[in-house]
Structure 1
Amino acid sequence: MPLLDTKHPFFRPAWRRYALVAVSFIWAGVELSYGSQIWAYLCAAIGGFLAWKLIVTWTDPDGS
């Protein structure tokens, strides 16, 4: 079972994929502004993973 099922219909609209990536990086900035470096790094790592899976290597499951 993959960590993130990119074939799920929820991820089909591009705006949702970009929003998830943006929210994780924005939250990393919020955590950094409050001085929580560990949580900021964790959120940024999640954002990087989401960006890689949902934007860089995204393939449409239906091929359209």
Structure 2
Amino acid sequence: MQLIDPNHPAYQRLWVRIAIVAVCFGWAGVELVTGDPFWAVLAGGAGAYSFYMLFLTFKPKPPVAAAAAEADAAEESDAEETSAEKPSKDGQAE
């Protein structure tokens, strides 16, 4: 199970990924300054994990693949609509 799905559309923008990592490491810095190393390590670990997931393993899906998937779904729904409109044996639509 992944905590961060790098293929989620919310992570497509670079500034969002930078902000997430910066907030995690910034919070780790705040915890270090205030003298709480346990929470600093946890926030730093979250920052390291988010950096790994959002920058090192980030491979965005091309928009063409998403458009093709939408086109396939549209064709399937059109096929279902036309099959529902076919008349039955007694001549009436089902």
Change (3 A) 1:3 1:24: same
If the length of structure 1 is used for normalisation, what is the TM-score?
Answer: 0.89
Tell me whether 1:62 sits opposite 2:88 in the alignment.
no
Indicate the SS of the match to 1:2.
coil
The CA RMSD measured in Å over matched residues stands at 1.5
Q: Is contact 2:32-2:40 (8 Å) kept?
A: yes
Please list the CA deviations of residues 9-62 of structure 1 after superposition, one character each: whole Å capped at 9, or x if unmatched. Answer: 110001100110011000000011110100000000000000000011210122
- Give unpaired runs (5+ residues) of structure 1: none
Larger Rg, first or second structure (1 or 2)? 2
Q: Is contact 2:24-2:44 (8 Å) kept?
A: yes
The higher relative CO (CA closer than 8 Å, separation ≥ 6) is in 1
Tell me whether 1:38 sits opposite 2:38 in the alignment.
yes
What letter corresponds to residue 27 of structure 2 in structure 1? W
Aligned pairs, number: 64
2:9 corresponds in structure 1 to: 9
- Distance between the aligned counterparts of 1:35 and 1:63, measured in 2? 46
| TM alignment of 1:47-58, pairs within 5 A | 47-58=47-58
Tell me whether 1:29 sits opposite 2:33 in the alignment.
no
> Structure 1 segments of 4 or more deviating over 3 A?
none
If the length of structure 2 is used for normalisation, what is the TM-score?
Answer: 0.63
